[in-house]
Each structure stands twice: as structure tokens, then as C-alpha cells.
Amino acid sequence: MSKARRWLIFARRHIEPGATISSDAYRSYRKLAEEGYDHQPLEFNVKETPDHLKWLHTMISNAKAFIGGTYHGLAPKHLQAYLDEFCFRTNRRRFEGQLFNRLLTACISTDTITYKMLTS
């Protein structure tokens, strides 16, 4: 299913018909205007963006690269676990000397997950 099609399905479920949608100018959003939504795309300009939004875009980009590059696809059931791992790694990226002790602590304080639990 195309991204544009997924956006349409999401919009139909969660956005009132005729609503105004402000977003970036990503091409998948073009179909929204055809469906009767008032789509007002805004070009994203990095030079004019506040610092906190630059970091937000950087973190989202890093998370997408982490998940896409490491796992090559994932089930929605496990998405939160993947995002938790990304946050864990990001928040501890400057503590290389403590990595082994932190990993060991996480391993012994976490419940065991069986293969059946992962796949069912």
C-alpha cells in the first residue's frame, strides 16, 4: 500500500471532512486536497527553524534510520519496544565506560521473553 493511500485511510478515520491540514509539502499529502480537506503545505526551511525543531527532526530521522537499517521492518506489536531501545541508546550514548555495567543491570532486572511471546 502506498504512503498516499495510508494517509488517506488515516485522514478518513481521524480527521473531520473539510478540516484544514497544515503540514510540510511532502508529496503523499497531495491526495488530501483531492479528498476535500483544506491542505495548506508549508515548505520546511532549516535556516529559519527554531533549534528545538531542528533537534526534533534530527531525532526522528535518526530513529527512522535506526529502525530501518537495523531491523529492516517490524511488526506494529513491537514498535514501542524498538522505540524504547532507540531512546535507551540515545540517552546513554555518552556513557561508553558504563555501557557493560548498565547492560548487565538491564539484563538481570528484566523479565524473560519467550519466542512464543515474541511471535504470537
- Over the stretch 85-104, which tens digit does the pLDDT of each residue have? 888 888 878 877 887 888 88
Residue 26 has pLDDT above 80, yes or no: no
Question: What is the pLDDT, as a whole number, of residue 46?
Answer: 65
In angstroms, the CA 17 to CA 103 distance is 49
Q: How far is CA 25 from CA 55, 86, 94, in A?
A: 20, 27, 35
Question: pTM here?
Answer: 0.51
31 close to 7: Cβ distance less than 8 angstroms: yes
| pLDDT class of 9 with cuts at 50, 70, 90 | confident
20 by DSSP, 3-state: which?
Answer: strand
Q: What is the pLDDT of residues 51-68, one digit of tens each?
A: 767 788 888 899 988 888
